[in-house]
Amino acid sequence: MIPSIPDIAQPDLARRLRHKLDNKTKPLGSLGRIEALAVQLGLILGSESPQLIRPQLVVFAGDHGLAARGVSAYPSDVTAQMVENFLSGGAAVSVLARQHGLALTVVDCGVRSVFSPRAGLIDRKIAAGTADCLGAPAMTPAQCAQAVHNGREIVAELGGNALLLGEMGIGNTSCASLLLARLAGRDLADCVGAGTGLDAAGVERKRRVLQEVMTFHANAIAPLDVLAAMGGFEIATMVGAVLEAAAGRRVIVVDGFISSAAVLVAQRLAPHVVQRCVFSHRSGEPGHALMLDQLAAGPGEPPRALLDLGLRLGEGSGAALAWPLLVSACALLDEMASFESAGVSGPRDGTPQAQR
């Protein structure tokens, strides 16, 4: 089930990429984090001139039995309604996908509605929503394994070399909080936020419910056991998608809190997954900063999100907003002139570029 995902650290290629950037017609390091992004994309794609081909923005949707406990400001019906909104082109992520030329696919991983077949929709429904994880595991081990398999299969069939993650599921910020608390050993209270817009009393109620869930599933420790006990069909399918994309050395553009939770599970199964991940933004959910700290590529290397705009919509909206930065990083690396080719004088001998 878990593919081989090797370390892609390549010191020689990284050195060549940095040398190429350092000799562009600019002061040394003057493009800031875009330069680091260009190096990362070159390492993921194994090229000094990386090209992003057929990017796929995939929204994974599923319902949650736990939502009946009042952990969200919105009813579960909204999951299915938003799937229809994605498919009709009216959602934020639909607009952004059109704007940036991203292929948008919606996957029904376990929504409590039946959708008519149409372009842009993939049916991988395992059940009509997960079980209420306060009284039973959200998924059986077989259901969880099937969801992970589905995610791998979907990515393999879509092709391209870049995957942008999106999700929809009323109640899934609760699942992300539970996964973070258990897999990272963090205090649950620090992992729980307002989600879809709960007031202070609602957040406190949510915390109480989730603490009961944590206690009920105290014996779930291994990553897949935790995922089955307290996750969701859409999150488990995303885990499979991340594993497959990483195994194929695709660029993985991670959206917010929920998609980061899927990456956290995948990282616990295959640590080098995170090398292929570009974290698009830091969410307004308080647990997301803790999640990013956990998703370190190495000691002392927590990933820095490209954007910090207070986003908390999900859907892949942050991934789509950050996408042009990846395109620009590749274009600058490939098309920007060097001092030599442009006939531009470099820094004076003995004067570091950074001081020019």
Measured CA to CA, the distance from residue 177 to residue 290 in angstroms comes to 10
Residue 315 has pLDDT above 50, yes or no: yes
Q: At 348, is the pLDDT very low, low, confident or very high (cuts 50, 70, 90)? A: confident
**What confidence tens digit (pLDDT) does each residue in 134-193 have?**
999 999 999 999 999 999 999 999 989 999 999 999 999 999 999 999 999 999 999 998
**Is pLDDT of 93 > 90?**
yes
The model's pTM is: 0.95
CA 109 to CA 152: how far, in whole Å?
A: 13
CB 123 within 8 Å of CB 139? no
Phi, psi of 163 (to 5 degrees): -120, 125
81 pLDDT more than 90 = yes
End-to-end CA distance of the chain: 53
According to the model, what pLDDT value does residue 36 have?
95
* Token reading at 352: 């570091």
* Token pair 């995902």: residue: 5
Q: pLDDT band for position 356 (50/70/90)?
A: very low
* Residue 197: predicted pLDDT: 84
When mean pLDDT is compared across 75-89, 202-216, 222-236, 337-351, the lowest value belongs to 337-351
User: Which one is predicted more confidently, 353 or 14?
Assistant: 14
Task: Grade residue 303 by pLDDT with cuts at 50, 70 and 90.
Answer: low
pLDDT at position 352:
47
CA-atom Rg of the chain in angstroms: 21
Q: How confident is the model at residue 351 (pLDDT cuts 50, 70, 90)?
A: low
Domains of the chain: 11-51+331-355 (1.10.1610.10), 56-327 (3.40.50.10210)
In terms of Cα–Cα distance, which of 268, 263, 233 is closest to 246? 263
What is the predicted pLDDT for the residue at 354? Answer: 42
Residue 299 has pLDDT above 60, yes or no: no
**Which positions are annotated as active-site residues?**
315
* Percent of the residues in the chain that have a pLDDT greater than 90, as a whole number: 88
Which range (17-26, 103-112, 269-278, 293-302) has the least confidence? 293-302
* Mean pLDDT across the chain: 94
* pLDDT recorded at residue 355: 40
The pLDDT, as a whole number, for residue 301 is 58
CB-hemisphere CA count at 13 Å for 288? 27
